[in-house]
A and B are shown apart, each in its own frame.
Chain A
């Protein structure tokens, strides 16, 4: 159902995109140009500063530290991103050779002495990284806070209420209904911390992404790649003998698994990759699409208002109200999606782990 809905949303977003482009084209000759694609992709991408607003004089942005390796001297350089901005505003090519390459999504590049530019090793604390750290901090504080409550109380005397009670209910819901039932009663325990951490990491990141100014962390392929890769490692490192037997020597006629072509093992090995790949793309696409739709709706307001003359008041006013209602609706929907996607990722991880522990029910 969610996928249907998402498809509808993408269709609507595509329609709005085309509408926006048309509006943009018509508005071109009047006011300044609004590049929706750049706005949306810019907000979906990463940044070296935490940008809130900008006026003609004031930049409401927090610069973040850049940590890059000089590709010529192989030295690590640490400086604030504002240094590059200042240097570039003063007309220099960059700060110590480092500059933002606008053609490559504004990433830091370095001019080499021979005039070419390369992408240095970049471990900067970007907007996404700082939000990951913030999410980590929130998760750690929340659960250590809960754990502290339990230390001061006797399990047999009182049960937690309020926030700790809510977190306990959520954790136990996940453990009992999601992890235990999908991984299997016998060996679910070692996977509980991993699956819960994945769930809360995604949930908190998703919710932080919905806060105005929040970064699009879970809608970034690197993050979902890492999470899916972790799940793949957990699944395959914990798989038992039966699991590997079903991959390389399944219960099928010999001509399907050895000669003339080992088709089943090839499919199964492909499955090892495709399962986490699906996880990766699902989370990425869902979160990215949600953000894209929200940003598109917001862009509509600016597009219609920049049409100029009387159209700005008539069309712009109407569209602003429409957009606002849609943004409101989408924000509520995204709150649900934030939870659902965290749930689905954890659920499928649990299912894959469960599949890697098949019971000895096959006849020899």
Chain B
């Protein structure tokens, strides 16, 4: 039987094929494929790391933003509260001042009234004493005028005595 060429076993062809294949395999297994695969895997790892980093950075950014907003909101609330407090304080102060002023005014008024009363009484008392003094002086003058001579004095004394005796 005569097989066609490509079906005939050929030790030489197998030998060269084996030699070439093994050399190619050894060279590429050492210097070829591992370099490519290692680099690609490194790159993949780097990319996935970068993605994780980016994601965490994004999350961090979002949390920072949230925190900033929170701080801002708190500050605004604080501000509102402060303003409200200040207004309340102002109102209170004004109210207090008003009441104080009113009470003070009343007190002053009363003191003035009391003073006026005292002054009035003093004045009345003085007027009364002066009036009394004047009256005494007038009466003294009148008496002295009426009892200028002895006669008159005697008559007068007698009339008084008469009155007393009666």
Residues of B13-37 at the interface with A, using a CB-CB cut-off of 8 Å, are: 13-18, 20-21, 23-25, 27-29, 31-37
Q: Which of A136, A171, A221 is the one whose CB lies under 8 Å from B33?
A: A171
**Closest residue of B by beta carbon distance from A216:** B6
* A219–B28 alpha-carbon span in the complex (Å): 24
- With contact pairs A41-B5, A129-B16, A226-B18 given, residues A136 and B36 touching in the complex (Cβ less than 8 Å): no
Contact-size category for A: 35 or more
Least CB distance, B48 to chain A, in whole angstroms: 12
Q: Are A140 and B27 in contact (CB under 8 A)?
A: yes
The digit string for A142-166, where 1 denotes a CB below 8 A from any CB of B, is 0110110011000110010000000
Interface secondary structure of A, over-half rule? helix
Q: Are A105 and B5 in contact (CB under 8 A)?
A: yes
- Which residues of B lie under 8 Å from residue A353 when comparing CB positions? none
Q: Are B5 and A194 in contact (CB under 8 A)?
A: no
- With contact pairs A123-B15, A143-B28, A226-B14 given, residues A220 and B6 touching in the complex (Cβ less than 8 Å): yes
Q: Which of B2, B12, B13, B24 is the one whose CB lies under 8 Å from A140?
A: B24
Q: Which of A121, A194, A196, A223 is the one whose CB lies under 8 Å from B13?
A: A223
Contact-size category for B: 35 or more
- Interface residue A122 (Cβ < 8 Å from any Cβ of B): yes
- Interface residue B46 (Cβ < 8 Å from any Cβ of A): yes
- Interface residue B165 (Cβ < 8 Å from any Cβ of A): no
- Which residues of B lie under 8 Å from residue A105 when comparing CB positions? 2, 4-5, 8
Q: Which of B11, B29, B32, B39 is the one whose CB lies under 8 Å from A144?
A: B32
- Interface residue B10 (Cβ < 8 Å from any Cβ of A): yes
The digit string for A286-297, where 1 denotes a CB below 8 A from any CB of B, is 001000000000
* A134–B8 alpha-carbon span in the complex (Å): 23
Q: Are A122 and B24 in contact (CB under 8 A)?
A: no
Q: Are A132 and B33 in contact (CB under 8 A)?
A: no
- Interface residue B42 (Cβ < 8 Å from any Cβ of A): yes
Q: Are B31 and A147 in contact (CB under 8 A)?
A: yes
Q: Are B14 and A222 in contact (CB under 8 A)?
A: yes
Looking at A42, A105, A288, which has the most chain B CB atoms within 10 Å of its CB? A105
- Which residues of B lie under 8 Å from residue A124 when comparing CB positions? 12
**Closest residue of B by beta carbon distance from A223:** B17
* A225–B34 alpha-carbon span in the complex (Å): 27
- Which residues of A lie under 8 Å from residue B10 when comparing CB positions? 46, 122, 222
- Interface residue A358 (Cβ < 8 Å from any Cβ of B): no
Q: Are B34 and A121 in contact (CB under 8 A)?
A: no
- Which residues of B lie under 8 Å from residue A123 when comparing CB positions? 11-12, 15-16
- With contact pairs A146-B36, A156-B46, A171-B36 given, residues A44 and B6 touching in the complex (Cβ less than 8 Å): yes
Q: Are A175 and B17 in contact (CB under 8 A)?
A: no
- Interface residue A90 (Cβ < 8 Å from any Cβ of B): no
Q: Report which A residues bind B (CB closer than 8 A).
A: 41-42, 44-46, 67, 103-107, 121-126, 128-129, 132-133, 135-136, 139-140, 143-144, 146-147, 150-151, 155-156, 159, 167-168, 171-172, 175, 192-194, 196-197, 201, 216, 219-223, 225-227, 230, 284, 288
Selected A-B contacts with CB under 8 Å, 7 pairs? A105-B2, A105-B4, A143-B31, A144-B27, A197-B29, A197-B33, A226-B17
Q: Report which B residues bind A (CB closer than 8 A).
A: 2, 4-18, 20-21, 23-25, 27-29, 31-37, 39-40, 42-43, 46
Further contacts, 10 of them, CB under 8 A, given A44-B6, A122-B10: A41-B6, A42-B5, A44-B5, A132-B17, A135-B20, A143-B36, A147-B35, A171-B33, A197-B24, A197-B28
